[in-house]
Amino acid sequence: MLTYTLRRLLMLIPVLLGMALIVFFIIHAIPGDPAQIILGQQATEENVEALNEQLGLNEPLYVQFFSYLGNILTGDLGESFQTNNAISEEVWPFLAATIELSFVAMLIAIVIGVNAGIISAWFQNSWFDYSAMLLALIGVSIPIFWLGLMEQWAFSVELNWLPSSGRENVRDPVEPITHLFLIDTLIQGRLDQFVDVVRHLILPSVALATIPMAIIARITRSSMLEVMKSDYIRTARAKGMRMFGVVYKHSLKNAVIPVLTIIGLQTGLLLGGAILTETIFSWPGIGRYIYGAIDARDYPVIQSGVLIVATMFIFINLIVDLLYAAVDPRIKYH
């Protein structure tokens, strides 16, 4: 198990290096001069030139790449062109916002998705099964940016039930400790703020949860159905076990493996793919942070931001793989 973990970690090195390389060169292939963009439309030529010099953008590309690589290896993610802040310090609030949102979205997706999948499999071909699966199919067919706008329109503008954007009540902002507001408000015992944070979370997290929820429901169902056909389920029933026990003890644990994979993949996708949701709901997350940086050609931010997201993605999937081993004793890692 340990060796497997180590081996997997070792295998990450070329992936991360390759990633750094690709990000670097794609980003530098984007036309447009960062200095010009930073200084704006109304800047003079000399100012632009001077800023380029200052940012080290006059060096040959490979020199820039290696210095960037060297910096990363020493844990220095660089400084944002726009704010001149160290990215390693600047990025956490954004990351935390995305993590919080993704976590809640994933929680919704898993709780509803897994249960819907189980019930559908259990009552295969019932009206519940049909409607749940049709809903799931619609779920994967909806453009989430559209869903987000519709949600906003319905629940925020028309009904005025929930706030349409942001993470917190601007009039009574959360005092950040971890930047995970759900935790921060609880630590501070501010239940009113906690409720407020939850209210802000609902619309974006539901929009974000839609696709994974649908996918999880579908996978859970098909994987449950497959498991329920298996020989050991027949054995369990031949022992005299009742269906509920069979489903929740024997089937679910076996069915959970493909679901785990999907949860891992989807969580990773959420982390980076939240750009659209974050834009629509003004969620100050990592997706918008990077997207904004692309607009501004803030090379260090794009590079480091993408690397952080990708690394998280990879690690989440690594954790999922390791979870398999916990669930499934057959996967014995030498």
Token pair for residue 275?
A: 């750009």
Closest to another protein by CB, 59 or 135: 135
- Least spacing, CB of residue 264 vs another protein, in Å: 12
Question: What's the alpha-carbon Rg for the chain, to the nearest Å?
Answer: 24
User: What are the counts of helices (DSSP H) followed by strands (DSSP E) for the chain?
Assistant: 15, 0
- Least spacing, CB of residue 170 vs another protein, in Å: 5
- Least spacing, CB of residue 262 vs another protein, in Å: 9
Which one, of 24, 83, 246, lies nearest residue 91 by Cα?
83
Contact call for residues 213 and 144 (beta carbons, < 8 A): no
- Least spacing, CB of residue 75 vs another protein, in Å: 20
Closest to another protein by CB, 42 or 74: 42
Measured in degrees and rounded to the nearest 5, phi and psi for residue 46 equal -65, -40
Distance CA 271, CA 267 (A): 6
Contact call for residues 101 and 282 (beta carbons, < 8 A): no
Contact call for residues 111 and 216 (beta carbons, < 8 A): no
Looking only at Cα atoms, what is the longest distance across the chain? Answer: 85
